[in-house]
């Protein structure tokens, strides 16, 4: 029985998706779960897995097409099976056409076939890259099998063209362009306000060392400070449901799950990879998911489920020695927490100057969802949890 391949919905407000590449050719066998196509939404560029086993057939969407969510774009069929026919309303009229009209149609088909034969062969990835870089593929000599233009050919041509130019501009990648659009929309439409809090991380560091020793003995990977912050954040969010809410245009939605989105750096941009139901996970589970998501993000192999459903975002630039920064909210989320580096500072300790490892947290909130008091209470509870991690974990 044929299985339909449809344009998936990766978020509630998504109406369309752009087809960037087919990972399989029509007629090739496909196994359930393996990468089948690559699409672009207003969140990210993601891989879509095959919904079942079969032979790819009946492809109706070309690379670059913008397709409505839920529309069938191909089929997976069994050996000897044909994909379901698509209704064609123009066919009956053709039967009554004159011989001259049929001859004209045949000539058009032949001309189209000749143009197709003359067109350069190019891989889907190279075609997408050429579009991003604004490169004319007719000027590129392919080095792949049978003269196929590869992505390396496109990049080499673009690099040579850029070197020859006296000035020039830098083209944006898909991820960079999406990030630019999203942040501009958020900054210009969401009423941000910011709260800043410094917190003593002495006991947080001690807890991270202790958990690392325990997990290494159990042949597990050591958790990072980011893992501990995600665990603390998830627990505190459970006590502050409004901070875990979403702005829906005319009402506030209280999200039933606490799905912490972690801002991750990828080539030319940032993606938000989601740890679902983070408040129900042990520290080891959070650490394992975060490592797996990081590896897939860096390899450009995120799955649709990896980037959807986030209810609160944390962005940690501490590893880059950034002391403090303000982050832009990811709609429809109500807030994002920006975390700076942990560094020794001189602070009051029992009325005297002392040195403590301090960290600055900056909370960006949507004023339509939370007011200053709610945000301040949340940030205060989070700071208390970080100062006394043993009471939370």
Q: 224 in helix, strand or coil?
A: coil
Dihedrals phi, psi of 224, to nearest 5 degrees: -95, 170
| Catalytic-role residue among 192, 240, 276, 367 | 367
| Long-range CB contacts (within 8 A, 24+) of 246-250 | 246/311, 246/332, 246/333, 246/334, 246/369, 247/190, 247/331, 247/332, 247/334, 247/366, 247/368, 247/369, 248/332
Residue 367 annotated to the active site = yes
Report residue 263 as tokens. 């801002």
Report yes or no: 252 and 369 within 8 Å, Cβ to Cβ. Answer: yes
In three-state form (DSSP H/G/I as H, E/B as E, the rest C), the secondary structure along 123-150 is CHHHHHHHHHHCCCHHHCCCCCHHHCEC
Reference 157, options 126, 115, 124; nearest CA is 126
Q: Are strands 252-254 and 245-247 parallel, antiparallel or unpaired?
A: antiparallel
DSSP 148-183: PBPHHHHHHHHHHHHHHSSS---PPPHHHHHHHHHH
Give, rounded to a whole angstrom, the gap between the first and last alpha carbons of the chain: 50
Phi and psi angles of residue 360, each rounded to the nearest 5 degrees, phi first: -105, 130
Question: Which 3-state string (H, E, C) describes 293-314?
Answer: HHHHHHCCCCCHHHHCCCCEEE
Question: What six digits make up the tokens of 207?
Answer: 């807890």
How many whole angstroms separate alpha carbon 255 and alpha carbon 253? 6
Pairwise CA distance, residues 313 & 298, whole Å: 19
| Residues catalogued as catalytic | 367
């Amino acid at each position: 029985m044929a299985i339909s391949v449809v344009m998936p919905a990766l978020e509630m407000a998504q109406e369309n998706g752009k087809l960037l590449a087919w990972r399989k050719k029509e007629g090739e066998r496909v196994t359930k779960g393996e990468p089948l196509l690559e699409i672009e939404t207003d969140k990210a560029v993601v891989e879509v897995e095959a919904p079942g086993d079969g032979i790819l057939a009946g492809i109706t969407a070309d690379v670059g097409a913008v397709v409505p969510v839920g529309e069938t774009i191909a089929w997976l069929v069994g050996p000897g099976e044909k994909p379901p026919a698509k209704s064609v309303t123009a066919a009956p009229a053709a039967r009554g056409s004159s011989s001259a009209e049929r001859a004209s149609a045949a000539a058009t088909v032949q001309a189209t076939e000749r143009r197709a034969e003359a067109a350069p062969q190019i891989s889907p990835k190279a075609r997408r890259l050429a579009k991003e870089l604004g490169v004319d593929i007719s000027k590129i000599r392919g080095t792949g099998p049978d003269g196929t233009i590869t992505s390396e050919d496109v990049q080499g041509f673009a690099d040579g063209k850029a070197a020859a130019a006296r000035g020039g501009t830098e083209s944006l990648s898909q991820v960079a362009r999406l990030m630019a659009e999203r942040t501009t929309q958020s900054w210009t439409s969401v009423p941000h306000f910011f709260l800043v809090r410094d917190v003593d991380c002495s006991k947080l560091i001690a807890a991270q060392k202790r958990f690392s020793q325990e997990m290494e003995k159990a042949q597990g990977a050591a958790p990072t400070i980011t893992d501990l912050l995600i665990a603390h954040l998830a627990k505190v969010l459970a006590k502050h449901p409004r901070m875990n809410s979403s702005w829906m245009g005319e009402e506030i939605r209280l999200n039933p799950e606490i799905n912490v989105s972690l801002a991750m750096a990828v080539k030319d941009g940032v993606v938000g990879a989601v740890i679902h139901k983070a408040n129900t996970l042990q520290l080891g589970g959070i650490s394992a998911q975060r490592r797996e998501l990081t590896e897939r993000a860096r390899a450009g192999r995120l799955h649709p489920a990896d980037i959807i459903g986030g209810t609160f975002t944390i962005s940690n630039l501490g590893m880059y020695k950034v002391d403090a920064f303000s982050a832009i909210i990811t709609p429809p989320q109500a807030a994002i927490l920006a975390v700076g580096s942990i560094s020794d500072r001189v602070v009051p300790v029992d009325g005297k100057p002392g040195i403590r490892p301090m960290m600055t947290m900056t909370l960006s909130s949507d004023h339509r969802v939370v007011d200053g008091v709610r945000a301040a209470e949340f940030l205060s509870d989070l700071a208390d949890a970080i100062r006394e991690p043993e009471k939370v974990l």
